[in-house]
Structure formats: structure tokens, C-alpha cells
Structure 1
Amino acid sequence: MKIAIISPGPFSVPPVKGSSVEHDIDEVTKMIDPEHQVTIYTRTCATYPKSAVEENRQFIRFPYNGPKPYLRRIISHIRKRKPDVIMVENRPIYVLTLKRHFPKIPVFVNMHSHVYGSPGMISKDKMKKVVRRASGFFTNSEFLRRHFMKTCKIPAHKIHAVHLGVDVSPYQVAKIHYSIRKIRKEIGLKPEDRVLFYAGRLMRAKGVHVLLKAFKEVCEQDPLARLVIVGGTGYGSNRLNPYVRELKQLAKPLGDKVKFVNFVPSAQMPLYYQVGDIVATPSVWKEAFCRVNLEAMASGKPVITTPRGGIGEVVTHQGSGFLIPPKDWKAELPALWKLLWSAPSIRTEMGKNALMRAKQFSWYATAQGYLEVFETALKKRKAASPPTKQDLRKTG
């Protein structure tokens, strides 16, 4: 099977600045069986050549100066390549142009969140057309699947929930890496400090303000408690916007108990997770999946998170972590912190459960989920097509 995968365009594949959609594309395509040929269309950048081949993957890179010229160049290349299936990543609007040029090729849309399927990004009328013309949709959680079935009236048989994966190896290897002590020292942590760790973008939807308000209560009962916040306002961006100023203001009374660390590239994150003892993801919006939880669990860290969106499909309450509604964090985080430090065996056991849970999410399983749907679509297309001259000769 020849598979064409079209990345959104603003970031490169593999990602240089840690963008999540592009990270997912890179990881899952590594696991696609070698008998399939995969062409990944992405943007040019200084880090990579315009085209490259890695085993059964070919990267074709074009300049990105807006979606229309980017997609126009991709379409020109697809005409030469003639793939069996096209997968559009997180940009349903691309489907309408692609189907005008390739009406017979099955085109799928992989939705990584609700954002680019919402009226702010695509009109309801255009989204209806996408639903009709696309061969199918993928989501990274059952929660997101149900969301699109309800809001966009996508038929159940046409939309498939396939969880993302994680490679636990780099997170486990990082546990014994010599540089962890150096990183802790650079952040300003002492050996005896007990560290609550946050990783992700600094945006209101991620609930970092909820975490800071709750952590203030933790500090009142535990003088050794420290909070490390890793991330910027965007992928590779460390702008001091109004929300970041608000966070710094909330942290100010806590002094050096709160450590802000700028954006860290995804390749270095396995090391940074080892800085923390417990990982917090206080999301207040309906997360589609929340990959940080999975990475934290791959590091063997207990997770304190919220039951928003698809998070509960990944984190098991009182198993690999705790699912606490955002409104209850201020009251419940101090009690959980006390429990996890007064009974170290609970923290250790929960870390083991977290790692076991993470191992259930593999990129190979994600790839197989995509391939099964593609193969079914191609069989249906073949069954619906009129017989070729070659077919008639065989039956003749």
C-alpha cells in the first residue's frame, strides 16, 4: 500500500520545536510495516534536507507560507506518486481541495483535538462537506470520537478512535542518566527536595493557575515541597504574555519553591521527567488525550490529573494516578501529597502501575489501527470498481 500523509504545515516532521501532531506523525510512521510505502509531506526547515528516505518512509518538504500554496505543491507531487490512501493530519479543510483533484483516492482525516473541526477554524457548511467527502476520520480517544459524532454528525462507522502510543525505552533509560543531577542543580533543586512536576504549554486551558493555587496549600504543610514548571507559551516560544505574568504573580509569594524552566525540546524531556517525583497535569479544558500523562507514566511517575475529556482513558484513578476535578485541587492536592510522602510504598507502587499502564499504549498498535481501516477502505473501493480488462481476462 502507498500511503501519503500530509502534515498541517506550520511545523516540521520530525519536530524540531516539540510540536505534538508532528511528533505523533513521526513516531507512528516508524511503526508502519515495511511492505507499505509511506510519503510524509511536511514543511522545509534548516534542520532537514528537502527530501530524505528512511527505510520505507520518504520525507518530501515544501516551504510553508500559508496553507494554500503549501497544499498546491503537495497536490502536484501526489499526482506523480499516485498513492492508494491519503491521510490529512488535523486540517479537515484540506480535504475539500484534495477531493477535487483526487476524487477516487480515499482521503482520511486524523483529528488530534476538537480545535480545527470547530466553527472558529472551519464553517459548519464546509465541515459538512468534509464529512460527506472524506472516507473516514481518526481520533486519539473515544471521547473525541463521540464529540465529533455529536457536533459534526459523523456516522459511527466512519470515525475510529485509535489511541496514541509511547516508547517507554528512552524514559526508562533516562532514570540512570548521569546528567539528571546536573539538571536538578541547574534548576536550583537540593537532593532532599520533593518535586511536583508540570510539563506543557503555559496556557489557561492547561490549568497551570489551578496548580499554583493548590501548590500554595501544599507548601504550608511541607517545607520540602517544590514545583517545577517546564514549558513556554507555545512550541519553542517563551513569550511573557499576560497569562505567564499571571502565573509569575501567583508564584511570587512562594519564592524559590516554584521553579520556571523554559521550553525544552521533546528529545530532552525523558531526562526532565526524572527531575520530578510526581507529575501534575491540571487541565481545565476537555483534553482529547494529553500525551504528557502517558510520557510521565512511561517514566514511572504517579500522575495527578483531571477527569477532563479523554484523560480517563489513559490514567486509571488510584491505579496509575489520581483523577481530581479542577475545582477540587486546592482542597485535595495537599491531602494527596501528604499520602504519597507519608507512605512511600504507595508512591512506589503507583509508579510501577503507571509504567505498566504506559506499556499498554504502543505506537505499533496505533499504526495497526490506521492500517486496518485503510485496508478495509481499499477493499470496498475495489469491490465497487468496475472490472478491468486484466480482471476480465482472468475470468475469461
Structure 2
Amino acid sequence: MHIAFICTEKLPSPAVKGGAIQLMIDGIAPMFAAKHTLTIFSITDPSLPMYEIRDGIEYVRVPKEQYEQHIVNELKKRTFDVIHVFNRPVNVLFYKQAAPNSRFVTSLHNDMFSPMKMKRDVAERVIAEVDAITTVSEYMKRTVTKRYDVRDDLIHIVYSGVDATRYTPPWTEEGKQRRTTMRQRFGTEDDDVILFIGRLSKTKGVHVLIESMNHVLAERPKAKLVIVGGKWFSDNRPNEYVRFLHQLAKPYNDRIQFTSYIPSEYIPHIFTIGDVFVCSSQWHEPLARVHYEAMAAGVPIVTTNRGGNSEVIEHNVNGLVVDDYASPKAFARAISELLHDKEKALALAHEGRKRAETTFSFANTAEQLERVYITICQ
């Protein structure tokens, strides 16, 4: 098959500036390129050429200005069996006009069928035009099926994944050495490190996590919260919320450390410093891909029962799930439990690693997507 991946207009591919969609594409693209002809469309970036063939994958990068129109022009010149439009379902309508003989898949990584983003008549036209819809979680599937009449065979849950080989769990020799090196670099050798990795936005709940430290430190004086991320991917400029977080953290002195944004290629190393990883999402998270990374890294996880998070993290099986997601005390209890009960924390981490290697591998993601493509082309 000749397959096209069309990224959003936000970030380039490969994921030189991060991004959950771009990282997923990076993970599955080599597997598709090994069996099919793959072209990836994305926006331009100063660090990348406009056109290249890398590792058997054709990359076509077009200016962000009038991105969709540029893609339309490209599609008119080419022939694809399957065109996969990532997280921009409305664009299917004019992409299909440019490539009427192709099969179309749109994947949902956010609630793109929300009435705030798409009028009902437009959404119904998209559903009628696409050959398949994939979603990153059961929760995301429900955001569509609760609003619209969708055939059962049209919509598929395809979880994202991770390349576990890039992560070194702390129980391996390599993991122990890397953990020692990284903790020295971050000055956390003697600390119980609570790790947050993600965008610094109110929906991610970093403020609740900071407020939980008052309770955590009462039980674990050596606890330290390390906050990794900026206001946006590759953007460390402060905004009102980021300034608020720094102000909120001031009374804790060196017990809270901000690193700003760190490029995605270094994140597997960053995970090695953590004793507990926390996803403090306050919104209905579609399903934060950082869960897959924490599982692969062998770090015990605390997450919230919001959106799709609890579909990959089972309470007391491969992590702890906080129902009272807005309560600093609830987070503190879960964090303190894992810092105190090292045996339980290790058992959860081992189960997470096992799932990252199997159920949530990029190979599994690619296999599920390929099945969708083959089905719609028959």
C-alpha cells in the first residue's frame, strides 16, 4: 500500500519539538515503511529540510501558512491507497475532494468532534465521508458515539505506545548506573523524587501537585518534586500560569525544582531520577502518552481517574489512580504510600514495564492500525 500520514499544523515530523502525535508517528513509521510506501506530511521547521527521504520514509514539509491548502495541492499530484489525517477530522472533507479515490482514516487524539470545534452538520458529513475513525482511548470513542450515530465497524480504539528499548528500568544494571549519573546531575542523590513531565497548563494540575507537597513533606522530609516542562512544546517563555506555579513553589525552596522544557530524546534519561511519577490531570485527558513512557521506564505511577487515563493504569495493578483529582491531600496519600512501601512500588513498576513491552508497544499500535487500513482497502 501507498500510505500518507498528514500531521496537524502545530508541530513538525519527526518530533524535533515533541508532541504526542509526532512521537507516535515516529514510533510506528519505521514499521509501516518496512512493508509499505509511506509519505509523511507536516509543517516546516528550521532544523529540517523541506523534502527528504530518511530511512525509507518520504517527508514532505510545507509552510505553516495555508498548511491545509498546500496539502490539498500535494494530494492532487499524488496517488495514495490510504490517507490518515491525524486529529483534524474536518480536513477530510477537502482532502477527499483532492484525492477522491483514496481511503480516508482520521484519528482522534482530542475531542475534535466537540460542538465547540465542529458544527453538527459538518461532523455528520465527516462521519459519512471517512472510511474509518481511530481513537486513542475508549473515552475518546465515547465522545463521538454519544453525540452521533456511528456504525460499530467504523470506529476503532487504537492505543498509542512506546519503544520500551529506549528506557532503562532502575532494576537493570544500565538503569542503576544511569540513575546514579542523572541524580548527581540534578542534585537529587539523597531525595525521594516525585516526577512530573508535561506541559505546564492548568488542565495538567501542576498547581494541585505543588500544593500536595506540604502534606508529603510532613511524612517524607526528603521528598523533592521535579517539574519537567514548559508552557508548550519547546517553548519556555513564561505566561501567567507558569509565573503562578513558581510563586506557589517559593515557600518550598529546594524541595521543588523546575527544569523547563527538555527535548523528547532526553526524556528516557530524565525518568531514571524518579521514585514516583505523577500525572495530575484535571481535565478529561484523552489519554496522556506520558503514562506509556513512565511504564517503560519502570517508575511507579500515580494518575487521575480523568478521561482515558485509567484505561491503561489499573489501580493497585500497575499504578495508583486518584479519584479525588482536585485534592492535594489525595495526591499526597498516594505519593506517600509509594514512597513508603518500596515493595509495592516496585511490583507496580514491574507490571507497568511488562505492559509497555507488550500491550502498549509501538509494534502493537502499528499492527492494529495496519489491520484497519487493510480492512478498508478490501
Decide: shared fold, TM above 0.5.
Answer: yes
Residue pair 2:113, 2:143 contacting (<8 A) in 1 also: no
The Cα of 1:100 is off from its aligned counterpart by: 1.9
Q: CA offsets per residue over residues 37-62 of structure 1, 9 Å max, x none?
A: 11111122222222222344211111
The Cα of 1:153 is off from its aligned counterpart by: 3.4
Counterpart of 2:232 in structure 1 is: 234
Q: State the SS of the aligned residue for 1:196.
A: strand
The Cα of 1:266 is off from its aligned counterpart by: 0.6
Structure 2 stretches lacking a partner, 5+ long: none
Q: Hey, what's the Cα distance between the residues in 1 that align with 2:242 and 2:224?
A: 19
The Cα of 1:99 is off from its aligned counterpart by: 1.9
1:129 aligns with 2:128: no
The Cα of 1:156 is off from its aligned counterpart by: 2.4
Residue pair 1:284, 1:326 contacting (<8 A) in 2 also: no
Counterpart of 1:22 in structure 2 is: 22
Counterpart of 2:241 in structure 1 is: 243
- Aligned partner of 2:144 among 114, 127, 148: 148
1:1-396 matched pairs, under 5 angstroms: 1-32=1-32, 34-65=34-65, 69-114=66-111, 116-172=112-168, 176=175, 180-181=179-180, 183-189=182-188, 191-327=189-325, 329-359=327-357, 360-379=359-378
TM-score, length-scaled by structure 2? 0.93
In the alignment, residue 121 of structure 1 is paired with which amino acid? K
Residue pair 2:169, 2:297 contacting (<8 A) in 1 also: no
In the alignment, residue 94 of structure 1 is paired with which amino acid? N
More displaced 10-residue stretch of structure 1: 147-156 or 132-141: 147-156
In the alignment, residue 77 of structure 1 is paired with which amino acid? E
More displaced 10-residue stretch of structure 1: 149-158 or 11-20: 149-158
Q: Hey, what's the Cα distance between the residues in 1 that align with 2:256 and 2:246?
A: 9
Q: State the SS of the aligned residue for 1:210.
A: helix
Counterpart of 1:392 in structure 2 is: none
Structure 1 stretches lacking a partner, 5+ long: 380-396
In the alignment, residue 128 of structure 1 is paired with which amino acid? E
Q: CA offsets per residue over residues 264-309 of structure 1, 9 Å max, x none?
A: 1110000111111110001111111111111011000100111111
State how many pairs are aligned. Answer: 374
In the alignment, residue 92 of structure 2 is paired with which amino acid? V
Residue pair 1:187, 1:261 contacting (<8 A) in 2 also: no
Larger Rg: 1
Instruction: Note closer, same or farther for the CA distance 1:110–1:327 as it changes in structure 2 (3 Å cut).
Output: closer
Residue pair 1:32, 1:364 contacting (<8 A) in 2 also: no
The Cα of 1:354 is off from its aligned counterpart by: 1.6
Residue pair 1:177, 1:271 contacting (<8 A) in 2 also: no
Q: Hey, what's the Cα distance between the residues in 2 that align with 1:43 and 1:354?
A: 34
Q: State the SS of the aligned residue for 1:32.
A: helix
The Cα of 1:328 is off from its aligned counterpart by: 6.6
Percent of counterpart pairs with the same letter? 32
Q: State the SS of the aligned residue for 2:140.
A: helix
Q: CA offsets per residue over residues 70-108 of structure 1, 9 Å max, x none?
A: 223223332332111111011112111112222332111
TM-score, length-scaled by structure 1? 0.89
